[in-house]
Chains A and B, each alone.
Chain A
């Protein structure tokens, strides 16, 4: 076992983990944050995307011990006092999801994109989401949602009250 200290959504966790524990299993099973999904489990679909020290990574291909000392942000960490993050609100508004399985990863990749490129073109959005697969939507409404969120955030909007 290895002891790790990880900050998840701003809260510090100290846990003993088997070194082979994948970050996604640490988040889902050790901490109980099940918003991060396991899709393909082979580094392709991106459903497991989280932010590791601010950059999007596929948490099915990261060992929990690699996150020792790091800051992790998951989909659960985006809301503020019950208000949705602009990306969450935009995915709802633009109908950027159908079954919703890929959505946490799509949103976390989009958070990464907008953090270093606040005004992406449609092409840049599509390239930024190359590592996230959706089997329902055909992607168009996902791209629209990211565009809406970029506009909201550029206009100074932050969180949107959830129903």
Chain B
């Protein structure tokens, strides 16, 4: 894919909370299909991701996703850019996975039967149809995270924002989650922006951003950025 229609633009963005500068991005345009964001905790990775779908609003400046301002058109932007967080348990609220996926559709689809069908298809597509009627509470973190992915994919987003999606998973479940995501990238052309501490995962992207101390400290080829980050962190 050479020219992706999904473009995310940051212009003169500053995010302040209680007088403290969380993130400053003077100019940034993202159009690659796979982008990874690395950097220390509290550096602003999460804020950067949340700006893209309007969960965090810029105190100054603006962010557009697909040409839509994330503040003015928050709802539409969030339909296009799905978000998966690191804590799997906190993302699910209903007793069973199927009901949780249906809940995502409540606003967009009026018919309960149709909601159920689409939700079921979505779980089948992710290979977790067997979990549909289980108690969400009793699922493993890995299973919960796949369900969380389903609750977001059911909107058919073009962009997936993944905020340390595998940090709380064990090795096998993390691998299952990442392979599922790369299948979505290949099969449906979904663009992903992944914030992660897993540098191997970060290296699989086309472009890597290093976010540190509330600014983008480096931006470019994954290999180059990761090497620079590694040497700086261990120095």
Interaction A to B: no
B interface list, Cβ under 8 A from A: none
A interface list, Cβ under 8 A from B: none
